[in-house]
A and B are shown apart, each in its own frame.
Chain A
Amino acid sequence: MNIVVLVKQVPDSGAERTLSQADHTLDREDAELVLDEINERAAEEALTLKETTDAHVTVVSMGPDSALDAIRKVLAMGADRGIHICDDRLRGADVLTTAKVLAAAVRTMEDVDLVLAGDATTDGQASAVPAVVADLLGLPQVTHVRKLDVDLDEDAGRVRAERETEDGESTLDAPMPALVSVTEKINEPRYPSFKGIMAAKKKPVDTVDLDDLFPDGDEAGFLVSRTRVVEAVPRPPRTAGTRVTDDGSAGRQLAAYLIAQKLV
């Protein structure tokens, strides 16, 4: 079985994130960059399948030079090879362009059975890239999955999954090849071992650009974004209001506050 995992490098959500004043894109210069937490779990799911089904795992990331670190981390966790899509022309790519480029990278591989992704990133938070990739590749979208079963006995294989959203839970069934996105609750990702980190240095990583992925593309016609940020304004931080220490009557004081503020 061949599995592709889509991973993105993002600024650490625990630190302050800023937008560049020049073009309103994310300031990557000062940010501490990490492998996004949820797609780390997609990688974990791929590696679990590698152990049980002898799968081959390719990790794909679109991003600047630094994104290679994210790829190396997944290789150190146990993936077999990497594809790094790196092209200055992709700076500021929108959801569609990101998905088109990722879909094109998947198309360069033969016999892909499963494309795995996180269900949301902590920076863009569109939560739409996996569904768009599925649309472009004509794959069933099995998204927001907290439990995944892959059944290789049937024809080309089937996936069965538990999906979780604000509406509740549902069970999904789809033929393979399929695209699966996972939630943060699906598993606990492993840490790369020292041996894994050493081995990762020797694993192959192909670096590709737009000309490799779209050899017939006419450059003038390549749209990087179909939207434009007109203005980005930092929001003033919130400040504390009233503060009390409970003396046995704080609940009543809160009630009085809510009534005075006409909140109830």
Chain B
Amino acid sequence: MPEVLVLVDHDGERVNKATYELLAAARRLGDPAAVVVGIPGTATRLTESLARHGATSILVAESTDVAQFLVTPAVDALELAVRETAAAAVLVSATTDGREVAGRLAARLDAGLLVDAVDLDSSGLVTQIVFGGSYTVRSQVTHGIPVIAVRPGAFEPEEHPGEAGRRELTLPPIAPAASARITARRAAPAGDRPGLTEATVVVSGGRGVAGADGFKVVEELADALGGAVGASRAAVDAGYYPHQYQVGQTGKTVSPQLYIALGISGAIQHLAGMQTSKTILAVNKDPEAPILGLADYGVVGDLFSVAPQLTQEMAARRAAN
């Protein structure tokens, strides 16, 4: 079987769930070879979990510099890995960084790039959902080694234990004139909530939440359901909730099992980011709100009485179990 390169997304200690999804996707095309880019010692910490999820080899690109520079070390590592293996394809998570890595790699390989794949088959046919959920498109790479950025959450992680051999890659030195240095990082306060794009439940608040304080109601419901919190652009622009959590055309695209919209009207640009969710629930005071026209379960009512009651029911249910 040919090797399929998978760029490992990690925080230095742990592999992100989206990488296990990539490994599952990669197995449809060949033997997944995980490419770890990090400071020295990183790969050793990640090997066991990568092997357990189907990586058949680990390509290690470690140096003290890599954490300090944006995107380019990962591109350099993948370019090297492609040149040193007979890789059939390269898979990267379609995160903010991942899209940039994939684009730059494709440019260096003069290869076809497909972004935001939600499915792919053994022949390399890729499914994408475009224009905010209005079209399903199937595409193929026609030139070069396919570089595919896969939407987080689109595949199920699978355990597939085996041995993973280790190979080293020697990164070229960083070109300071062509690289941006990261001088400080402030991680998003992760808390105990799942990431927005990987969560199976997302509870989002809109302008109807009426203030930063009001978002407590949204957070409490999300926590009761083990979900992530999202926000409409109006809520973000009003300063109720940080930008990273914006759902929609210019925010994140989410496709959870359950999406709950609280005080969100359902503008086309918001729907663009969530209308492929499995089940949609909405609470809105206005019976004419467009979101109620597509919710699987719509409540005309005040979110400040409906949401806390639902939170309470869920908490009571959990206590009883």
The reply to whether A128 and B99 contact each other, CB–CB distance below 8 Å, is yes
B195 CB contacts on chain A under 8 angstroms: 166
Contact string against B for A residues 9-39, beta-carbon threshold 8 Å, 1 for contact and 0 otherwise: 0000110110100001000000000000110
The reply to whether B306 and A141 contact each other, CB–CB distance below 8 Å, is no
Expressed in whole angstroms, the Cα–Cα distance for A168 and B143 within the complex equals 35
Beyond A141-B70, A226-B113, whether A251 also contacts B313 by CB under 8 A is: yes
B112 CB contacts on chain A under 8 angstroms: 94, 225-227
A238 CB contacts on chain B under 8 angstroms: 275, 280, 294
A234 within 8 A of partner (CB): yes
The reply to whether A241 and B299 contact each other, CB–CB distance below 8 Å, is no
- Of B101, B138, B144, B249, which contacts A226 at CB under 8 A? B144
Expressed in whole angstroms, the Cα–Cα distance for A17 and B301 within the complex equals 33
Contact string against B for A residues 132-175, beta-carbon threshold 8 Å, 1 for contact and 0 otherwise: 10111011111110100000000000000001111111111111
Expressed in whole angstroms, the Cα–Cα distance for A5 and B235 within the complex equals 29
Beyond A164-B244, A166-B197, whether A122 also contacts B103 by CB under 8 A is: no
The reply to whether B135 and A235 contact each other, CB–CB distance below 8 Å, is yes
B95 CB contacts on chain A under 8 angstroms: 165-167
Chain-B contact segment, one of A108-116, A178-186, A209-217: A178-186
The reply to whether A240 and B299 contact each other, CB–CB distance below 8 Å, is no
B169 within 8 A of partner (CB): no
Expressed in whole angstroms, the Cα–Cα distance for A170 and B96 within the complex equals 13
A42, chain B: closest CB distance, angstroms: 14
Expressed in whole angstroms, the Cα–Cα distance for A135 and B180 within the complex equals 12
Name which residue of chain A comes closest to B177, CB basis: A175
Interface size class of B (residues with CB under 8 A): 35 or more
The reply to whether A226 and B141 contact each other, CB–CB distance below 8 Å, is yes
Chain-A contact segment, one of B29-37, B155-163, B183-191: B183-191
Main secondary structure of the interface of B (DSSP, over half): mixed
The reply to whether B113 and A94 contact each other, CB–CB distance below 8 Å, is yes
A52 within 8 A of partner (CB): no
Beyond A170-B186, A232-B136, whether A242 also contacts B298 by CB under 8 A is: yes
Beyond A131-B103, A166-B196, whether A178 also contacts B314 by CB under 8 A is: no
A134 CB contacts on chain B under 8 angstroms: 104, 178
- Interface members, chain A 204-244 (any B CB < 8 Å): 223, 225-235, 237-244
The reply to whether B306 and A95 contact each other, CB–CB distance below 8 Å, is no
Contact string against A for B residues 77-103, beta-carbon threshold 8 Å, 1 for contact and 0 otherwise: 000000000000000000111011111
Give the tally of cross-chain contacts (CB within 8 A): 277
- Of B100, B281, B293, B297, which contacts A141 at CB under 8 A? B100
B313 CB contacts on chain A under 8 angstroms: 251-252, 254-255
Contact string against A for B residues 103-129, beta-carbon threshold 8 Å, 1 for contact and 0 otherwise: 110111011111110000000010001
Main secondary structure of the interface of A (DSSP, over half): mixed
Chain A CB within 10 Å — which of B116, B298, B307 has the most?
A: B298
Chain-A contact segment, one of B39-47, B49-57, B206-214, B250-258: B250-258
- Of A19, A132, A171, A261, which contacts B183 at CB under 8 A? A171
The reply to whether A141 and B71 contact each other, CB–CB distance below 8 Å, is yes
Beyond A234-B135, A240-B295, whether A166 also contacts B250 by CB under 8 A is: no
Beyond A128-B113, A238-B275, A263-B257, whether A140 also contacts B100 by CB under 8 A is: no
A229 CB contacts on chain B under 8 angstroms: 137-139
A198 within 8 A of partner (CB): no
B279 within 8 A of partner (CB): yes
The reply to whether B135 and A99 contact each other, CB–CB distance below 8 Å, is no
* A residues neighboring B (CB under 8 Å): 13-14, 16-17, 19, 24, 37-38, 94-96, 99-100, 120, 122-123, 125-129, 131-132, 134-136, 138-144, 146, 163-175, 178, 183-185, 223, 225-235, 237-246, 248-255, 257-259, 261, 263-264
Q: List the 8 shortest-distance A-B pairs measured between CB atoms, nearest first.
A: A251-B309, A246-B301, A128-B103, A226-B112, A255-B313, A131-B100, A168-B188, A226-B143
* B residues neighboring A (CB under 8 Å): 70-72, 75, 95-97, 99-104, 106-108, 110-116, 125, 129-144, 175-188, 195-197, 201, 225, 236, 243-244, 249-250, 252, 257-258, 268-269, 272, 275, 279-281, 283, 287, 292-302, 305-314, 317
